Structure 1
Amino acid sequence: MRVLHTADFHAGRVLRGYDRTPEIHAALTEIAELAESEKVDAVLISGDLFDTANPSADAEKALFDFFLRLRSAEIPSVAIAGNHDSSARLASVTGLLGWVGVQLVAEVTPRPGDLIRSIQTKGGETLTVGALPYLSERRLVKAADLLGGEVSDWRQKYREGMEFFLGKLAAGFQPGHVNMLMLHATLDGSQPSGSEKTMQFHLDNAYTLSPENLPRAAQYVAMGHIHRPQQAGSAPLAHYPGSVIQLDFGEGGEKKQVNLVEVSPGQPARVIPIPLGSGRELRTIRVPLDQVEARLERESQKKDGALLKVLVEAPAGTATAGLKDRVLSALPSALAVELSALQEDLALPSLKREGLSLLELYERYWHEKRGELPDDQRAAFKEAHEAVQSHVEASGEEVA
């Protein structure tokens, strides 16, 4: 049996105001063509189909075109929701996607069987997939309660909670089938890209799994969430295929891929990485202030299509008025211009984080990534923050 494993599409991704969706669309087209040319029996997508909970129409088109291409090639697929996805939004289209051969698992239900999906291959073999969508610690406790687990002590026991669910999935494996597990989570020892360290405005990576928590009955564990391609476990065999394009400057230089998994019932799986060629390269260039003009001239002559982040090294206190506009004018492919001296001088009161409210931190984050924070986005953030505070006060919990 041949299974193509991919993850972390992030359709709708916007980087410093630049929409990456056309590149992601091209990558998904490339992956669908690979699935057909490699004659795979199924495709597994391990979460983060979209970059935001409310994706754009172009982002939805990129994803749905991908699934339609698989349908045209008569290739079934199984997908799960990731932490960037709206599980409720995806759950609303599971029925429709089922008509084109997509078994989408968006939410955990009181029926464990809903997490077990099977595909009959043209060769007569059966692929059984235990598919667990992303669960934050809060959702883990709620979902475990629905399935009858003892949750009284689980608020600080993420691993035990996840192991409970993984055991439920392994119980659905069948002798004579190819049995795989799919989840969107962080395994101990996995190496993140720079993007996971800086771009995600949440703390979910504080909760990790040990490879020892994975059921050994799984012949392959199809992981999602970490954007750097890598093997993350050996018993059972667990892999992250990584994101499909370089999504953030922290991923600059990474080679993107999908995994082709060859496996037979009861036999060890063999993983063959297949490189992807879609997506513009993200490159960070560092240049001293007194060499800016010459370096900009050289970079402007390059025709490699890379998107640039320019770090200008300038002594503290140096006058740099108009520098950013000069760089952006000379290099249309530059998405970001930063002064390294200002970035490093954390002693400046204006750059300290201490004493800033959560809203002020969010405004700084948004400004760094996309520019001025829109009023409606600010209002939505305040409303969400106030709702969380009200819940915490009502429950008597403390915010970590």
Structure 2
Amino acid sequence: MRLLHLSDVHAGKSLGRVSRNEDVSYALSQVIDFCKESRPDLVLVAGDLFDKANPDNEAKEVVFDFFLRLRSLNIPSVVIAGNHDSYEFMKSIGKLLKVINVHVFHKPDLENGVFEFGELKVACLPYPSERVITGAGSESKLSYALAVEKAIKYLYKKVEDARFKVLLSHLFIAGSKFTRTEREASISQYYAIEPTSIPEGFDYVALGHVHRYQRLERVPSPAYYTGSLFQLDFSEAGSDKFFNFVELKEDSPPHVEAIKLSLKNPLHEVEIDQRDYLKSLEEIKKLQGYLKVRIRVSDKTRLNFVMERVREVLGDKLIKMELLESSQQRKREENEKSETLNILELYKSYFKENYRKEVPEEVLKTLTELYNLVHNGE
């Protein structure tokens, strides 16, 4: 059984004044090209098909065209709603999409949340909003995380007799590495689901919601976030994007291949100095994609002229411009230094309390070097 797992399409996403539907279409076209070559049996879409509850017409056209192209290849798909998707909108398109072999699970429904496909059963849990998953009855007294855990285990019972068992869900699993593009409230500790909430018996767990590709090592079953299909904003600048091609075999772990996507408009964050900005502009204007430019200010009297020149040279590539004055730079450096010192002081206290002696200098030196490596992304 061969599956293709993708998530967080976010059709209808914009960045400032710029629509990202071109990036969505480019990513989905690569998925179609891969399907032509590798012929998966089923495509799984793990939520956030759209970026907004009421997507624009162009976003809908991009998504519907993708599913029509899958249908022309005779490849069915299963789609669940994410936290960006509207339950009602997903319900409204569900019957229409079913005609082209796209099966939409718009809302958590434990009694009707299983998709059967030959020897495969897919337990489908769309984004479980607090209102829906805890309800207004006796279950409302449960914590959110416990209610979600009970829902997953209930669905597992409904699929455990199948030869192949997959969980398709849109959740935040505690310990996963997220970006800054997820809605902050939805990745708080209140909404964090413990990895052990997912039973061991699933052959594969296809997750959406977190925008960074990763395998979750602490989940008892093989579990993956494939992340967003393109760089959603500048906090994802420099990050690669993927979907998974999964082959399920009886009595052996799944073979999972991460398929890297090329980017139509990669995002770049660059910092230039006002004193030699023209030289910097000559280099960065060659970059493909969109730009966020930070200008280190040295002469405010010429700043308007410099900013206008930056806009003129970069044109539509420029999405955002920020000014870094000397006081801001000093403050940022002081904050970074303070953060480092706080970590060191905490470790000193921890070490002294546990070992009844001061931290050796070589340990402090190594800790400082490690912090700087992590902080600078090296």
**TM-score normalized by the length of structure 1:** 0.77
Q: How does 1:136-151 map to 2 (within 5 A)?
A: 136-142=129-135, 145=137, 150-151=138-139
Question: Which of residues 110, 120, 140 in structure 2 aligns to 1:127?
Answer: 120
Question: Which of residues 296, 303, 307 in structure 1 aligns to 2:290?
Answer: 307
Percentage of matched positions with identical amino acids: 33
Q: Does the CA contact (< 8 Å) of 1:115 and 1:130 recur in 2?
A: yes
Q: How does 1:117-196 map to 2 (within 5 A)?
A: 117-120=115-118, 126-142=119-135, 145=137, 150-154=138-142, 157-196=143-182
Residues 15-67 of structure 1, C-alpha deviations (whole Å, 9 max, x = no match): 01111101211211211221231111101000000011111111001100111
Q: Does the CA contact (< 8 Å) of 1:7 and 1:242 recur in 2?
A: yes
1:136 alignment partner AA: S
Aligned counterpart, 1:281: 266
Distance 2:330 2:68 in 1: 50
Distance 1:108 1:11 in 2: 22
Distance 1:327 1:60 in 2: 35
Are the structure 2 counterparts of residues 171 and 18 from structure 1 closer, same or farther at C-alpha, using a change threshold of 3 Å?
Answer: same
1:39 aligns with 2:35: no
1:177 alignment partner AA: R
Question: Which of residues 102, 113, 116 in structure 2 aligns to 1:115?
Answer: 113
Which structure has the larger Rg?
A: 2
Where 1:320 maps in the other structure, the secondary structure is helix
Are the structure 2 counterparts of residues 321 and 31 from structure 1 closer, same or farther at C-alpha, using a change threshold of 3 Å?
Answer: same
Distance 1:307 1:343 in 2: 28
Distance 2:221 2:170 in 1: 16
Distance 1:47 1:315 in 2: 47
Distance 2:54 2:304 in 1: 38
Q: Does the CA contact (< 8 Å) of 1:76 and 1:119 recur in 2?
A: no
Once the 2 structures are TM-superposed, how far is the Cα of residue 322 of structure 1 from its aligned partner?
A: 4.6
Q: Does the CA contact (< 8 Å) of 1:176 and 1:266 recur in 2?
A: no
Q: Does the CA contact (< 8 Å) of 1:316 and 1:341 recur in 2?
A: no
2:73 alignment partner AA: A
2:243 alignment partner AA: V
Aligned counterpart, 2:70: 70
Once the 2 structures are TM-superposed, how far is the Cα of residue 282 of structure 1 from its aligned partner?
A: 0.4
Distance 1:323 1:116 in 2: 59
Q: Which runs of 5+ in 1 are unaligned?
A: 121-125, 348-400
Distance 1:91 1:50 in 2: 13
Once the 2 structures are TM-superposed, how far is the Cα of residue 299 of structure 1 from its aligned partner?
A: 2.1
Are the structure 2 counterparts of residues 82 and 334 from structure 1 closer, same or farther at C-alpha, using a change threshold of 3 Å?
Answer: same
Distance 2:130 2:326 in 1: 37
**Matched residue count:** 327
Distance 1:318 1:100 in 2: 62
Q: Does the CA contact (< 8 Å) of 2:165 and 2:204 recur in 1?
A: yes
1:130 alignment partner AA: A
Are the structure 2 counterparts of residues 176 and 51 from structure 1 closer, same or farther at C-alpha, using a change threshold of 3 Å?
Answer: closer
Are the structure 2 counterparts of residues 343 and 226 from structure 1 closer, same or farther at C-alpha, using a change threshold of 3 Å?
Answer: farther
Distance 1:194 1:27 in 2: 21
Q: Does the CA contact (< 8 Å) of 2:275 and 2:298 recur in 1?
A: no
Aligned counterpart, 1:222: 206
Distance 1:341 1:184 in 2: 42
Distance 1:28 1:76 in 2: 15
Are the structure 2 counterparts of residues 132 and 162 from structure 1 closer, same or farther at C-alpha, using a change threshold of 3 Å?
Answer: same
Once the 2 structures are TM-superposed, how far is the Cα of residue 176 of structure 1 from its aligned partner?
A: 4.3
Aligned counterpart, 1:53: 53
Q: Which runs of 5+ in 2 are unaligned?
A: 332-378
Distance 2:86 2:307 in 1: 36
Once the 2 structures are TM-superposed, how far is the Cα of residue 338 of structure 1 from its aligned partner?
A: 0.7
Q: Does the CA contact (< 8 Å) of 1:179 and 1:265 recur in 2?
A: no
Distance 2:140 2:283 in 1: 62
Are the structure 2 counterparts of residues 318 and 80 from structure 1 closer, same or farther at C-alpha, using a change threshold of 3 Å?
Answer: farther
Q: Does the CA contact (< 8 Å) of 2:272 and 2:294 recur in 1?
A: yes
Aligned counterpart, 2:185: 203
**TM-score normalized by the length of structure 2:** 0.81
